[in-house]
Amino acid sequence: MVHFDLGNISSGPKDYYDILIVGGGPAGLTAAIYAGRAGLTAAVFEKALEGGAVTQTHIVENWPGFTRIEGSELGEKFAEHARSFGAELVTAEVTKITYDNEYKYVHLDNGKVVKGKALVYATGAVPRQLNVPGEKEFRGKGVTYCAACDGYLFSGKDVVVVGGGDSACDEAHFLAKMVKSITIVQNLPYLTAAKVLQDRLFSNKNVKVVYNSLVKEIRGKDKVEEVVVVNNETGEETVIKAEGVFIYVGLVPKSDLLKDIVEVDKFGYIKTNENMETNIPGIYAIGDVRVKNLRQIVTAAADGAIAVEHAAKKYF
Amino acid sequence: MALLSAKDREYLTDLFSKEMENKVKLIYFGDSKENCEYCELEVQILDELQELSDKIIVERYNVNDHKDLVEKYEVEMVPALILTLEDGEDRGVRFYGLPSGHEFGTLVQDITTFGKGAKPDLSPNTIEKLKEIDTPVRISVFVTPTCPYCPRAVLTAHNFALINPLIKAEMIEANEFFELSNEFGVSSVPHIVINRNPNTFFIGAYPEAQYLEEVLKAIK
Ligand SMILES: Cc1cc2nc3c(=O)[nH]c(=O)nc-3n(C[C@H](O)[C@H](O)[C@H](O)COP(=O)(O)OP(=O)(O)OC[C@H]3O[C@@H](n4cnc5c(N)ncnc54)[C@H](O)[C@@H]3O)c2cc1C
């Protein structure tokens, strides 16, 4: 089925907004909805596509109200909802954040600077790398972190999926329909994904799992040809022939723009209080980028609501 | 059945009426169904777009019947879509393959940019450096419709093209033009090739300044 999506349409930013929101994932877009409802002006700066990580998620089954919805559709609904409350969605990468006593400033990659009273940082987290030989070298030559983006390019080929969590299993299930075979490489003796996701994954005949194993190296001539894995109990090495390697081994916070300004933990996640405010008044951090126990769409959305509600009372 | 929902049509009608000052021409080249799987759909989506604003003019040509225009706009494959102002002057903005999925937003964004006089929102520094380019540059952005990072990579390329007539920027749908994608070793999108040289490419949606740097590095 061919879709025609309107996710990334934006207009140029004005000079000032009450609330500046960096990152247009579920956290940032919910913040925008709450800003609109509170009668505040808000701009969401997004460098890729409104909807954030959700837009590259195959299927979402734990967002209340939808037993099952495609990630890209949910992302688009979030954006539409934020727009309907007057939020400005701006396609631009924020490259720097500064502040003085009165305002916060976002510096955009097209050279513009926009100021606001409060700043909500919602940049999410990005896929963690394996840091093994060949990973960097073959990026875009077989190594990828986005099944939604690149899956079709591996139609009929043998691929490896690294990781055994929710994301790995869901994305492997998505890939199973188009690729020839999938070998999942998991470091533990079992998968950690939710049971429903595992059951669904194993309904595909072309999926197998190599447990207790770590990827040691990704090899090939011009592009990926094989993946070397080591059994972490026996030390035995196995070579798996594959043209694609999809890596889903967790996340790292995208806190680079704030990590020298506000407090972060040793992994780089931003510390906040229960109002989502950082140690700098008027700078909030929400969603996957902050220190928290559960990184999901619902919790990201909740953070957005809490932050803006607090800012609206305290600063306006 | 319409491709755009009533709600999307309403949204776009409003957007175009607010944002468009100039007329925009969408020049489409296609072929019969046997030769072009997606041409029919593209014709349909263009028809639906045209209905939403009197500022949008769609011209449709069969590649086999209009050699002069094919040559003028350097059309290589179909479906092809070239965006211009009302005068029809080629500004280097192209789509090869159906602009569906997230790329539909790219097309809409391009239409409004042309509607505002084809003056893209780039930093003065970028504009200055783009103007200094004095050799032909061709930016080919390979995409898939489901890739969230791709629209930005295409838009940046298209905006670059609007600054300097020597720059041509094309979206290429990687699934539709599978052989070409293979030729360039595309396995992760957006995959951006400069001057159709398989060795000068970069992968990913870069911010404006780095994007420009990559382009400049490739043409050195
Ligand atoms: C494959 C996969 C499957 C998942 N499945 C589920 C699921 O089924 N259910 C569930 O609840 N959760 C799921 N998650 C987790 C969920 O997607 C995240 O918890 C959620 O998206 C976090 O929202 P966020 O707004 O904090 O960040 P994100 O969604 O990551 O959004 C951050 C946004 O900020 C943008 N950004 C970053 N830096 C900048 C900058 N400098 N300038 C401008 N923009 C910037 C990014 O482009 C991105 O769009 C999944 C995640 C993955 C990766």
Q: What is the residue extent of each domain of chain A?
A: 16-126+251-315, 129-247
* Chain B residue nearest residue A56, CA to CA: B148
Question: What would the mean pLDDT of B147-151 be, rounded to a whole number?
Answer: 90
Contact A75, A24 (CB under 8 A): no
CB-based burial of residue B209 (10 Å sphere; 0-12 exposed, 13-18 middle, 19+ buried)?
middle
Whether pLDDT at A61 is above 80: yes
Q: Is the CB of A60 under 6 A from ligand 1?
A: yes
What are the pLDDT digits (tens) for B15-59?
999 999 999 999 999 999 999 999 999 999 999 999 999 999 999
- Which of B15, B106, B181 shows the shortest C-beta gap to A8? B106
d(CA A85, CA A179): 42
Residue A235 CA, ligand 1 centroid: distance in Å: 36
Residue A6 CA, ligand 1 centroid: distance in Å: 18
Whether pLDDT at A11 is above 80: no
DSSP state of A272: -
- Which of A55, A109, A149 shows the shortest C-beta gap to B209? A109
Instruction: Among 3.40.50.2300, 3.20.20.70, 3.50.50.60, 3.40.50.800, name the CATH number for the domain at A129-247.
Output: 3.50.50.60
| pLDDT band for position A13 (cuts 50, 70, 90) | confident
- pLDDT, position A7: 66
Closest CA to B143 of B170, B114, B120: B170
d(CA A20, CA A82): 14
Q: How far is A155 from chain B (nearest CA, A)?
A: 10
d(CA B199, CA B192): 11
Q: How far is A53 from chain B (nearest CA, A)?
A: 9
d(CA A270, CA A284): 9
| pLDDT band for position A8 (cuts 50, 70, 90) | low
- Which of A9, A150, A152 shows the shortest C-beta gap to B105? A9
Question: What would the mean pLDDT of A141-146 be, rounded to a whole number?
Answer: 94
- Which of B3, B104, B155 shows the shortest C-beta gap to A6? B104
B14: CB partners within 8 A, 6+ apart:
none
A24 three-state secondary structure: coil
* Chain A residue nearest residue B100, CA to CA: A4
- pLDDT, position B1: 83
What are the pLDDT digits (tens) for A234-259?
999 999 999 999 999 999 999 999 99
Whether pLDDT at A12 is above 90: no
Which of A55-59, A275-279, B91-95 has the least mean pLDDT? A55-59
d(CA A140, CA B181): 12
d(CA B194, CA B200): 6
Does A7 contact chain B (CB < 8 Å)? yes
Largest interatomic CA distance in chain B:
50
- pLDDT, position A56: 83
Closest CA to B144 of A178, A204, A136, A66: A178
Q: Is the CB of A69 under 6 A from ligand 1?
A: no
Do A153 and B121 count as a contact with CB atoms less than 8 A apart?
no
Whether pLDDT at A6 is above 90: no
Does B151 contact chain A (CB < 8 Å)? yes
Whether pLDDT at A49 is above 90: no
Residue A52 CA, ligand 1 centroid: distance in Å: 4
Q: Which residues of A touch B193 (CB under 8 A)?
A: none
Q: Which residues of A touch B191 (CB under 8 A)?
A: 140
Same fold, A16-126+251-315 and A129-247: yes
Do A8 and B175 count as a contact with CB atoms less than 8 A apart?
no
Orientation angle between helical segments B102-115 and B6-19, nearest 10 degrees: 30
What are the pLDDT digits (tens) for A144-163?
999 988 998 999 999 999 99
CA atoms within a 13 Å half-sphere pointing along the CA-CB vector of A242: 27
Contact B168, B193 (CB under 8 A): no
What are the pLDDT digits (tens) for B162-217?
999 999 999 999 999 999 999 999 999 999 999 999 999 999 888 999 999 999 99
Looking at CATH, the fold of the domain delimited by A16-126+251-315 is given as: FAD/NAD(P)-binding domain (3.50.50)
Question: What would the mean pLDDT of A284-304 be, rounded to a whole number?
Answer: 97
